[in-house]
Amino acid sequence: GESVGLHLPTLSVQEGDNSIINCAYSNSASDYFIWYKQESGKGPQFIIDIRSNMDKRQGQRVTVLLNKTVKHLSLQIAATQPGDSAVYFCAENTQGGGQAGTALIFGKGTTLSVSS
């Protein structure tokens, strides 16, 4: 599968490959993270979230890994499909996502292109 060590704005993969999208977050106090998928002309769509008391969380075809030591988050998509083509954003928050009035801070997006 295709993977990147540092954030890259674009990632191109073949259908069926595994994709890994990386994100570096900025605030060492952040303890809640969300991955979003955004298709052209649409709002961000919730994919998966993770709290800082976990290193890994799995969903349907997706896995999020969290490395708090280096403030790094990754999203792994298994058996990537053309419908996965979109811009992917990571977002961070403090207080476990429960603090009223705080913002989700979004990272730089990665455009995933899947060719068949």
Is 58 a residue that touches another protein (CB under 8 A)? no
- Binding test (CB under 8 A) with another protein, winner from 80, 89, 112, 114: 89
Q: Which helix (H) or strand (E) covers residue 76, if one does?
A: strand 72-77
When asked if residue 62 is in the footprint of another protein (CB under 8 A), the reply is no
Kindly indicate which of the ranges 12-20, 68-76, 77-85, 106-114 contains the residues binding another protein, using the contact rule CB under 8 A.
106-114
Stretch that binds another protein, among 14-22, 60-68, 77-85, 88-96 (CB under 8 A): 88-96
Is 14 or 102 the residue whose CB approaches another protein more closely? 102
Cβ neighbours of residue 86 closer than 8 Å, sequence gap 6 or more? 37, 38, 39, 40, 111, 112
Q: How many C-beta atoms lie closer than 10 Å to residue 78's C-beta?
A: 15
C-alpha to C-alpha distance for 51 and 8, rounded to whole angstroms: 24
In whole angstroms, what is the distance from residue 37 CA to residue 84 CA? 8
Q: Is 96 in the site for another protein (CB under 8 A)?
A: yes
Contacts with another protein, residue ranges (CB under 8 A): 32, 34, 36, 41-46, 49, 89, 91, 93, 96-109
